[in-house]
Amino acid sequence: MLWASVLLSIPSMYLAAGRAPSKAILVAELVFELFMTAIAVWLLVYLGRGRNWARIVMLILTMLSAAAMVFEPALQPPTIETVCAQVNTVVDVVCLVLLFRPSSSAWFARRGRTPAR
């Protein structure tokens, strides 16, 4: 489900590119979005390997994203880009709830005791 969240970020990147006022801003936005997508993929790989630190980092980043989602509508009118970002954040929150369930915590604890490959 977290991989679906990464895929959901692609429409936001495309829509942001269409609204960039200049070519320099467009390049900066795309570089930033690709960097954040690379971080998300990196975290997902380590989540799959059972690294608890990746779960904590994902929690912090999702909490920051959720806080931005709450305050952003007051700053600007909603756009399709904003709606895509909100759906992405909701999917991330649902995934994190599942990642912090007792059965998930037990899985991470078992994975943490095995030697790294």
Residue 68's pLDDT is 81
Residue 103's pLDDT is 92
Query: Which residues, 6 or more positions from 94, have their beta carbon under 8 angstroms from its beta carbon?
Result: 1
DSSP secondary structure of the chain: -HHHHHHHHHHHHHHHHHT-SSHHHHHHHHHHHHHHHHHHHHHHHHHHTT-HHHHHHHHHHHHHHHHHHHHHHHHS---HHHHHHHHHHHHHHHHHHHHTSHHHHHHHHHHHHSPP-
Residue 31's pLDDT is 87
Task: Please count the structural domains in the chain.
Answer: 1
Say if CB 94 and CB 1 are below 8 A apart: yes
What range defines the domain where residue 18 resides? 2-113
Residue 75's pLDDT is 66
What CA dihedral angle connects 82, 75, 89 and 86, to 10 degrees? -30
CA 53/CA 27 separation, integer angstroms: 31
Residue 43's pLDDT is 92
> What global pTM score does this model have?
0.75
Residue 45's pLDDT is 93
Residue 33's pLDDT is 82
CA 104/CA 4 separation, integer angstroms: 19
Instruction: Please list the ranges in the chain whose pLDDT falls under 70.
Output: 16-17, 72-77, 113-117
